[in-house]
Structure 1
Amino acid sequence: MYQEAVDPVIQGLDEPCPSSTCQNHVATTMLTATRQSLSDHTIGKDPQAVRTGQRQRLSTEEATRWADSFDRLLSHKYGVAAFRAFLKTEFSEENLEFWLACEEFKKTRSTTKLASKAHRIFEEFIDVQAPREVNIDFQTREVTRNNVQEPSLSCFDQAQGKVHSLMEKDSYPRFLRSKIYTDLLTQTQRRLS
């Protein structure tokens, strides 16, 4: 769903930093890509805009609403893209990737795919020494390990809740104060002038 908006934002972030100021490079790359993304993609499904070929852009009002709640940020594809880019600067994007993987997992309707998806998510994010291990306590890890043995759509709920809470209390406030977010707001306001 939000992959089309995310790809341009993230695309330039995997390149090596040209100098020792990696965070500035990531922020600059993200802003450039976000500007392009915001001008190139349609937001929502406004039939009039689709019929006439007009593209809606992220409004200052919508970007400002991201500060109302963490869940509002996560419900907006450009919000997710901006937050992901911010987490990359902090080397903690695995938290958002895990949360998104859980959201996608909950949409699984095939019982045959449920087990393989559950094991893949567990091995990638939950297991000790996983390639993108999220920071959860031992008890939550063990509960999740047991849940994955007989997977259901809710087998990651406890771990996902812990990671959501961690991002909301820790990363989200820093995101709202970050140069990435403030520059994004400034950019949307400039378009109105």
Structure 2
Amino acid sequence: MYQEAADPVIQGLDEPCPSSTCQNHIATTMLTATRQGLSDHTIGKDPQVVRTGQRQNRGMRTRLGCLSHKSDSCNDFTAILPDKPNRALKLSTEEATRWADSFDSLLSHKYGVAAFRAFLKTEFSEENLEFWLACEEFKKTRSTTKLASKAHRIFEEFIDVQAPREVNIDFQTREVTRNNVQEPSLSCFDQAQGKVRGLMEKDSYPRFLRSKIYTDLLTQTQRRLS
């Protein structure tokens, strides 16, 4: 699977947001209150109510992401790139520009995936990309003995209610996937993967193209040519 790396192309992820200390305190307080509210509501409640609360909680984390977490501005992009041992950005401006042509272009490039992951972390939604990548890796499984264990592991990590990295899919898709996993095949996550991919393409991808992570990366590649 793709791994984050470190070098002179994205260390700035650790730089604080341009927000004030007061804004950070407010954001942290609101996030804490939101999480506590969700915890209170999960006791003795209908599962559908719980899932709704979880989606609202994720939305709140996304909206407050810049205030309480990392800035989407980067000065050192190699920190997120997948070839850490080389400590060098092997990316041309032409390649990076091509990511804006389509979501497929972004996902087919290892640096594109790494930069997109860094952006999603600022929105607290990197689980969507990790799930998509896990499904892509799952489809390469050739051992029938490993198929079931891998399928259940992915379901428990990303799909099941209150999974550690639960993705935002509808109840029907979750149940279809639950049934598929009982008799797993290489296509058992197709519906859920398609839903998550569509969500990223419609919501996160356009914001990524407008983000400073992407525009700063383009600037960095252009400087190397000058």
Q: What is the TM-score when the length of structure 1 is the normalising length?
A: 0.75
Cα 1:79–1:36, aligned 2, differ >3 Å: closer, same or farther? farther
> Is the 1:126–1:134 Cα contact (8 Å) retained in structure 2?
yes
Give how far 1:191 is off: 0.5
Separation (CA, whole Å) in 2 of partners of 1:75 and 1:64? 13
Give how far 1:135 is off: 0.2
> Is the 1:83–1:175 Cα contact (8 Å) retained in structure 2?
yes
Q: Does 1:153 align with 2:194?
A: no
> Is the 2:51–2:161 Cα contact (8 Å) retained in structure 1?
no
Percent of aligned positions with the same letter in both sequences?
Answer: 96
Per-residue CA distance 1:7-50 (angstroms, 9 max, x = gap)? 99899969999997799999999999999999999999999999
Per-residue CA distance 1:89-137 (angstroms, 9 max, x = gap)? 0000000000000000000000110000000000000000000000000
Separation (CA, whole Å) in 2 of partners of 1:131 and 1:24? 25
Cα 1:158–1:36, aligned 2, differ >3 Å: closer, same or farther? closer
Cα 1:160–1:130, aligned 2, differ >3 Å: closer, same or farther? same
Give how far 1:2 is off: 3.8
SS in 1 for 2:54: coil
Cα 1:35–1:58, aligned 2, differ >3 Å: closer, same or farther? farther
> Is the 2:169–2:195 Cα contact (8 Å) retained in structure 1?
yes
Separation (CA, whole Å) in 1 of partners of 2:200 and 2:151? 22
Moved more, 59-68 or 48-57: 48-57
Separation (CA, whole Å) in 2 of partners of 1:60 and 1:34? 41
Query: Gaps (5+ residues) in structure 2?
Result: 57-89
Cα 1:180–1:172, aligned 2, differ >3 Å: closer, same or farther? same
Separation (CA, whole Å) in 1 of partners of 2:50 and 2:176? 46
Higher relative contact order, structure no. (Cα contacts within 8 Å, ≥ 6 residues apart): 2
Cα 1:126–1:32, aligned 2, differ >3 Å: closer, same or farther? closer
Per-residue CA distance 1:50-74 (angstroms, 9 max, x = gap)? 9999999200000000000001100
